[in-house]
Amino acid sequence: MVNGPVARERADVRVVVADDQDLVREGIAALLGIQPGIEVVGSARDGAEAVEVAGRCHPDVVLMDVRMPGTDGVAATALLRRQLPGCRVVMLTTFNDDEYVGRALKAGAVGYLLKNLPAAELAQAVRLAHAGVAQFDQTVIAALAAGTPAPDLLTPRETEVLRLISAGATNREIAARLYLSEGTVKNHISRVLSRLGLRDRTQAALYARDNGLI
């Protein structure tokens, strides 16, 4: 028998929310706080504070606004990735300009979402980011296709898989070519589709063609 209060089990994903607008920041934190498997452990008004709060709270995921006074979200993301390499940063903003998207990805962000996302979808994006799956708003995908090549979003192996998909190879053929199991190939394909915001192999082949991968 355990005496005294039982310690609360750690939530699946610990989150810090960084946004310079108090109402937005508090609203996001409140909405996420009632989602299952998520615990909001801190918040910040700018990038510098986000880095400081994350250093104290050790979150799994930071939801980071792009444009904030002082240290902006992109600079803060780069700092966080150096100081806390295990922490995933997802940009959450109203701006889907391709320049912002490209800078955020180069800084180490694993996702770029817009603030009009429903709470349940945002919570799922946080969980997926924690699991290592990149998340991008559909309108952001268009900016990525226009200005950021696929290799910036995919690992080298995922890029190989994408090229083979575009060549019409089956899962079995891809597995044989890359010396992988078919199950591993299926996992790679799922990640490619998720990271690029694509629905199926046909869209993947078109993406590869439009981005000069074939």
Taking only the tens place, the pLDDT of each residue in 61-76 is 999 999 898 889 999 9
Query: Mind listing the pLDDT tens digit for each residue in 106-154?
Result: 888 888 888 888 888 899 889 988 888 777 777 666 655 555 555 566 7
Question: Other CB atoms closer than 10 Å to residue 190's CB: what's the count?
Answer: 11
Cα separation, 5 vs 70, in Å, equals 43
Task: Output the pLDDT for position 5.
Answer: 42
Short-list 197, 92, 190, 63, CA closest to 135: 197
pTM score, whole prediction: 0.65
Instruction: Give the pLDDT of residue 118.
Output: 87
Q: What is the mean pLDDT of residues 48-57?
A: 95
Band (pLDDT 50/70/90 cuts) for residue 1 is very low
Q: How far apart are CA 73 and CA 65, in angstroms?
A: 6
Res 9: pLDDT = 47
- Distance CA(74)–CA(98), nearest Å, equals 13
Predicted local confidence at residue 110, as pLDDT: 85
Q: Once rounded to an integer, what is the mean pLDDT over residues 155-182? A: 88
Long-range CB contacts (within 8 A, 24+) of 199-206: 201/165, 204/162, 204/165, 204/166, 205/165, 205/166, 205/168
Average pLDDT over residues 38-54: 95
pLDDT tens per residue across span 189-207: 988 887 777 778 888 888 8
Across the range 87-101, mean pLDDT stands at 83
Average pLDDT over the chain, rounded to an integer: 83
Residue 4 pLDDT more than 50? no
Average pLDDT over residues 27-52: 93
* 20: confidence class by pLDDT, cuts 50, 70, 90: very high
